[in-house]
Chains A and B, each alone.
Chain A
Amino acid sequence: MRARTITSPRRVVVREGVGTNARHPDATVKVKGEFVYSSDLHRDGMLWGLTLRSPHPYARIREIDVTGARGMPGVRAILTHRDVPGRKTYGMKVADQPVLASDVVRYQGEPVAVVAADHPEAARRALARISVDYQVLEPLVDPRAALERDAPLLHPGGNLVRHVKIRHGDVELARAAAEVVVTGEYEIGMQDQAFLGPESGLAVPTEDGGVDLYVSSQWLHEDLEQVVASLALPPEKVRIVLAGVGGAFGGREDLSIHIHASMLALRTGRPVKMVYGREESFFGHVHRHPALMRFEHGATRDGKLVFVAARLLLDGGAYTSTSQVVIANASYFAAGAYEVPNARIDGFAVYTNNPPAGAMRGFGAVQSCYGVESNMDKLAGALGIDPLELRLRNAMGTGTVLPTGQPIDGPARVEDLLSRLRAMPLPDVPPGAEAWMLPGGHGNVTHGEGVRRGVGYALGMKAIGYSGGADDYSTARVRLSVVDGEPTAEVWSAAVECGQGILTVQAQIARTELGLETVIVHEADTSIPNAGSSSASRQTWMTGGAVKGACEAIRRRVLQGASGALSRSLDELMFEGGAVVEIRTRKVVMPLAEVLDDEAVEESFEYHHRPTTSIDTETGQGNAHVAFAFAAQRAVVDVDLDLGLVRVVEMAIAEDVGRAINPLAVEGQIEGGIAQGLGLALLEELQVVHGKLRNPSFTDYLIPTVADMPPVRIELLQTPHPDSPYGVNGVGELSALSSTPAIVNALRNATGLSLLRIPVRPEDIALAARGTAAAAGP
């Protein structure tokens, strides 16, 4: 990939700086089809790597025999667990996942062997000739059974990944005092990130015995740590370079082809390319945790919450991945964005022989948001209070103490968001005004006589950045020079662009801080210090802070240079428009070229957020979070009761984004997140039957198309966050939380059905509606 340059004509006010809809430097090459995705890489003489995967969810491996594949034409290497040079296992938090399985496989699709050949066909034929003798075992597939006494133990430490306990106030006392109590049990199926560009990359052996790995990722340095451990190489011998990323959404936090391709390249001495197809991609990354959740809400008759009790069970699948953090995040926000004096929250993540679960946009908060927001509607029904009104009466604000004991000290304009949502007009087109607008579209099987409209609301909150005592940071280096008479800034950071726009954000910040217009953001690789992960809605805040810090240091250096050269006091001068200017007259007193004298100034900055603490293992108490973000959503749906078909008519959202560095990009994040939440509500589920994936294809795993996705009304609030650079807040995940429960609440509003499990399928509506009608009938 090339470095991206944007040049705009010079003006006094810097163009495409912070707060503008600056265009994305990578978008030009992307619309021309010239952007190099990780699947587009090519080297002369490269081999193709393929993976042999277990067909069984749980089996003992008696023997792996590769002799049948040896010596086949075009086959250059066949590697198994014996060939892993270093640590035989990997993992983001716990290295418990075999690089290649040795004695046991714990999920269907677990890698067992890898092959490199001249052509993918040759590699495929070789895979077919490897014989693995499996002793098939009865898989543990029900997360409820995982903690039972007689359950098979999938890992030496047992089947519990983590139990998170949060104890706040006195729930027993509050329950006795509550006037109305409602309980609901909610279930979520397995969602997939379904990024459009499958896992892929290219490993190139280097002359010093190391490897250059070009790969799509979310966090290059975390990848590096795991890769070098398994390759038994010193970190300086492995360089990981970000190749073009075709979407991520959490699914690229864990390794995919990284170690396999590197091992094959090192073994053969040739570049090795690996590309998963769509089917393999479904086996090649972790999924969103399926969830079973019980929520109990108690309130006074006039609708003040007195307690919440929640029990969450997340199916972590076969390996740890990020499960212990996902369950923490789910538990932190199980009480929702409400003022709740008493809470008792128990979150469990367990191992099963289902596909491993890990990070996906929202990271646990999606699951608990669906549960708590569903039960809030149930409570509203029991109280006879309008659901939006109930939320308003209990909305948290700055100063509210979370169940974890931490007071919210940043902006929390939850009431305001709800009021704004209420003020937004409802769509004025009646249900089925035109045939194609009927649920199910053009099918024309009814005239819309069974169609009902419903409106639903949901509130979402999430922590921004890494919680729980992590000293998270990002590093950036900025260099200022004059190129062909033009002041030019170059930015180096290892922040991963997945499409969210962090390249643009870095360029915008450098423009604003240095008052110039030409900024080059260089490609990300591990020779640049760590920028942390493109996840947790953190990158604009963290790497934005690092770029800003580096630019400020450069400004100081330039001004010091000028003040020395001109013998003038520092406070008379400022750096603006690429020159040193006298503050009083705003006249240029020294052009940058003169200050720099053909040299460049370069500064690095490491940005840390404020410190947090871990939570107490028994009570869950602790100041665990950096910051919080909030959004309120409304869904309007049309439902055909006879057919069970749904059409989402409109989504509306009010979100406080702190400050939008690039408003258009922020809206893009919001709309994309809503679409994924819509998918979870209505369409998206990996069907896992007895540990096996039944629908690993886009024919059978449905993601929303433009026909499913309605227009979105967006109202951005911009309340600067006091702790962040420019007042920004995280925006990557929030809209994905509340869109799901808003839609399901709208379905419940339209149908009167309880619809506890998502995604809601047509038969869930049509059969239940018929049952209700029959029960109510003559």
Chain B
Amino acid sequence: MKTIQFREAIAEAMSEEMRRDEAVYLMGEEVAEYNGAYKASKGMLDEFGPDRVIDTPISELGFSGIGVGSAMNGNRPIVEFMTFNFSLVGIDQIINNAAKMRQMSGGQFNVPIVFRGPTASAGQLGATHSQAFESWYANTPGLKVIVPSNPYDAKGLLKAAIRDDDPVIFMESEQMYGDKGEVPEEEYVLPIGVADIKREGKDVTIVSFGKIIKIAYKAAEELEKEGISCEIIDLRTIRPMDHETILKSVKKTNRLVILEEAWPFGNVATEITYQVQSQAFDYLDAPIVKINTADTPAPYSPVLLEEWLPNHNDVIKAVKKVMYKD
């Protein structure tokens, strides 16, 4: 094993896949000469040259669509959005073209493309720069959606995404790029659509994904001291969702808290809640609780942003509520 940063995990995954398959290229704003706005493609221009590591103008609609077109004609593009907030400028190409091409052409054209970049909030960046669109993308048939939470998962899942023959949305976080974690020296690929139990426990199941899962770890540690044992499931893939792992855990703990950094209306947690109540209703000892960001655009002011975001105390409160300990 070796210890690397999240951003290095991303760069390693892309570089290994580009060495392995010459159809793969990386394209986006500042990915080449600047080594990535968050240095997630460091060294790649030097290794692969400007034909395969390509700086684009600020033209998300254009380069998303060029990516899709090239994927219909033999390439396996990795398209980077500086953040997924800016994917909205290009979302037509993702939803109307990438996601539907195979179906509309009766299976003739698959679109092996990865759209990747940071999602959700990253400090006081205000309303347009703090959005989480996991549930938007996951709502769309034809797409797969991956949100890793540590370097190991990020590397293994990004390699899988690049090898996948369908379009994949791969979401990272500005606030995770510096996180360190262990990865094997040798090559590995992780399966898409498989959740991971990050912490075993018996009293309550907490389901989460992405960077916000870290506050669940913190809450679980504090709850442990009070004798409450939390099981933490990291979804890793949002679509397709690993319902089996969630259901198995809920059948064991009989209690579920879902932590998702996203607006509360019709989000990923809502979908999990539906699935669990319909498939494990009799196992539930308490109503499911979900913790999200406030039902407003993200405010800039630090005191408001703190209220807007979930924190570990919210998780502790939720766990105690489903255990009737409040």
Q: Decide if A and B are genuine partners.
A: no
